[in-house]
Amino acid sequence: MLYFQGDSGSPLMCQDSTGHWTVQGLMSYGVDGCDGQFKSIVNRFAKVSTSVNWIQSIISINLFVT
């Protein structure tokens, strides 16, 4: 799977053996360009579990997005 510039914030989803999907990471950054020249790309993800408390605190404050 390839991620590119502009994909920041995209979820890295994993499915367990029961078919349940969870977000494991969020795209931090990818390469600039989408022309197929990339054979081996390293994408960077932020681990969601390390920020769960912060995410929940923000969600509880901002219940409505405008």
pLDDT per 10-residue tile (average), the chain, 66 residues: 70 91 82 57 78 84 65
Which pLDDT score is estimated for 21?
A: 94
Residue 4 lies in a domain: no
- What residues are paired with 26 via a beta bridge? 11, 46
Q: Which amino acid, residue 25? A: G
Percent helix, strand and coil across the chain, each to the nearest 5: 20, 30, 50
Domain that includes residue 41, residue range: 11-61
Name the domain count of the chain.
1
Residue 2 lies in a domain: no
Residue located via tokens 């979820």: 11
Which pLDDT score is estimated for 18?
A: 96
Q: Tens digits of per-residue pLDDT, 26-42?
A: 887 666 555 556 555 66
Residue 16 lies in a domain: yes
- What residues are paired with 13 via a beta bridge? 23
Residue 44 lies in a domain: yes
Q: The whole model's pTM is what?
A: 0.55
